[in-house]
Amino acid sequence: MIQKYYLVNEKAVPEIFIKVVQVKELLSTGRAKDISDAVSKIGISRSTYYKYKDYIFLLSEGMIGHKATFSFLINHKPGALSAILSKIAENKGNILTINQDIPINKAANVTITVDMSNMEIAVDELIKQIKNINDVIDANIIAME
């Protein structure tokens, strides 16, 4: 049987799955001494944790491949795209493709595919850093391989 995987926004995920991920984070960061301690801190049972632990992952934790395609909406200003590219390079991402639409209403859509195999941060952290760039209006992940 072929397994299917879905990329789902946290808002659409049942709370119990989010709690399982929180337990996993406590364990991986050492903020809980063992599973009993972690589930107690988060407020779920051990059996619930064991039932779902192999089926829910953060995007960076469950990354299967090494490529991601991002969509950006940026202000049409000199240096806006360059700032994004610099942020990706700073985090050891390798640009594979760049597509930029013609600016309309002083904003342009940009799609960038990145080889992430050498990156030292998680994909969600990269998006957060790019969203903090002044001329970036929006940043999203479109696909991962």
pLDDT > 70: percent of the chain: 92
What is the pLDDT at residue 57? 77
Domains and CATH numbers, the chain: 10-52 (no CATH), 67-144 (3.30.70.260)
pLDDT single digits (tens) 2-58: 667 677 888 999 999 999 999 998 988 889 999 999 999 999 999 999 999 888 877
Which residues on neighbouring strands pair with residue 116, listed in sequence order?
none
Please check the confidence at residue 90 and state whether its pLDDT lies above 70: yes
Cα 140 to Cα 28, 54, 65, 114, 129: the distances in Å are: 26, 26, 18, 13, 12
Q: With bands split at pLDDT 50, 70 and 90, how would you rate the model's confidence at 141?
A: confident
CA gap 110, 139 in Å, rounded = 9
CA gap 72, 20 in Å, rounded = 31
What is the pLDDT at residue 60? 58
pLDDT single digits (tens) 67-78: 889 999 999 999
First CA to last CA distance, the chain: 20
